[in-house]
Amino acid sequence: MKSATILHPLLCIGAAFLSSAQAIKLNKREDGEPRVVGLQLQRQHISDPVAYDKARSRLRRRQEGTVDVTIDNLATLYYFNASLGTPPQDIRVHLDTGSSDLWVNSPNSRLCSMQSNPCGVSGTYVANSSSTYEYLDSDFNISYVDGSGASGDYVTDTIHITGVELEQFQFGVGYTSSSSQGILGIGYPSNEVQVARNNKAPYDNLPAKLAADGHIASNAYSMWLNGINATSGSLLFGGVNRAQYQGELVSLPIERVGDEFNEFYITMTKLSLGSTTIQEDMALAVLVDSGSTLTYLPDDIVAEIYNMTNAVYEETEGVAFVPCALGEQTANMTFTFSEPASIAVSLNELVIDFADLTGRQLSFSNGVPACLFGVAPAGDSTNVLGDTFLRSAYVVYDLDNNEISLAQTVFNPGEADILEIGTGPDAVPEANLVSAPVAASSGLPKDSGAGTVAPWVSGTMVAGSLAALVGALVLIF
């Protein structure tokens, strides 16, 4: 795609959102100073990623400049710090490309008012303590498949994100809530709660608002999560960082769901492990979702992966465990999309040490240390490329052109080299659109008419296909 001559965000604050080894290369923009914004994102470990993925799976109706964000990493929730209101009230919210609303808790909810203060880390928002707060309606209501969720008001207020201030920014306030963690959804506005539940027009969520207010040129951003052991990555609204990927960016069309674009589905055509092709000639829709900790694929594909890695599947937990030594193997799991787009994920990025998450080391019955495996069965639910895939990919989300651009990530890069994403077709700099994109023939959610499709619900595999795996420990490639 056409190149742009520019940029890195703010010289004064940009360095704070890059790793200490990564200096800033600021390319002068020909038509003025770069429009950029920086956020800091961090990674948070969670002890039960599958339970989290199930819980965050929202029931939703279906038809059915540059911002640099440093992302901090804890097994794989990525979050950032911001503030709301006047004077500012600090919050910490989980970043999610699979949803589209920002919502935060009220301290008066039953959950947040508990003596244990479960919302203390993430922070809360008191509407009446802000002089810039405005009430909109009481239509905010987000639900999860396990029965949890949040409901309350839609409001507008000022949001502050590392030097950028957006006035009259719309978000939800959870006065009734069963989740202590607020969420910032940066997906399509058409996937917002008020659109899905109440048939209202979409509003400008964070990336759309940044574009509308002129902080970035278009509704587009790039994400780089760094490696499995990294504590931070970066999110760049309105630009790409050439230092964080290798090879060329390849742009793929986003698949429509029904007659509209509302989520980040792309088509996967082939999957390999090492030199072995697991499945080819596919046209499988997969959801690119930073809010999902693991990667979820069709059961037959996962059964073959487990067979090759001698994974032990725990049906009650919906996950598999492998010998931790698997992470020392040099093989890659290669995800292929429309040619020439492909991403290679090394096995060490898929082997998650449970001791790092829980403080205790799991082992098989023969004493071999056991680690969580980063691929799980999707069952009857959505196929998802979650964080175990995304850490190996540099991903550009171009919502204005309904495209996703992919390149192989560079772990721990050096000097940042930022280019601005422009406007119009071919806006992503130095990216090439695939010439013969494959359209998905399976994997897209079906329009139920009534409007509830629940992705990421339990991944239940056929027991017979896994029975032979239990206790197997010899690695086969």
Active site residues: 96, 289
Reading the block at residue 181, the tokens are 């963690």
Q: How deeply is 421 buried, as exposed, middle or buried, from its count of CB atoms within 10 A (0-12, 13-18, 19+)?
A: buried
Contact 113, 122 (CB under 8 A): no
CB-based contacts of 151: which residues, under 8 Å, 6+ apart?
A: 140, 141, 142, 174, 175, 176, 177
Q: What are phi and psi of 105, to 5 degrees?
A: -85, 150
Edge-to-edge strand ranges of the sheet holding 239-241 = 24-25, 416-420, 239-241
**What is the number of other CB atoms lying within 10 angstroms of the CB of residue 355?**
14
Write out the two tokens for 220: 């587009």
Sequence-distant (≥ 6) Cβ neighbours of residue 78 within 8 angstroms: 41, 42, 43, 44, 71, 72, 94, 95, 225, 233, 290, 387
SS3 assignment, position 90: strand
C-beta atoms surrounding 442 within 10 Å: 11
Amino acid letter for position 475: L
- Strand extents, DSSP E, 131-201: 134-143, 149-161, 164-177, 182-185
Short-list 119, 167, 171, 184, CA closest to 140 = 171
Q: Which residues pair with 419 in a beta bridge?
A: 240
DSSP state of 347: G
Query: How many residues does the structure list for the chain?
Result: 477
Q: Which residue has the tokens 């000097």?
A: 415
Note whether 179 and 149 are within 8 A (CB).
yes
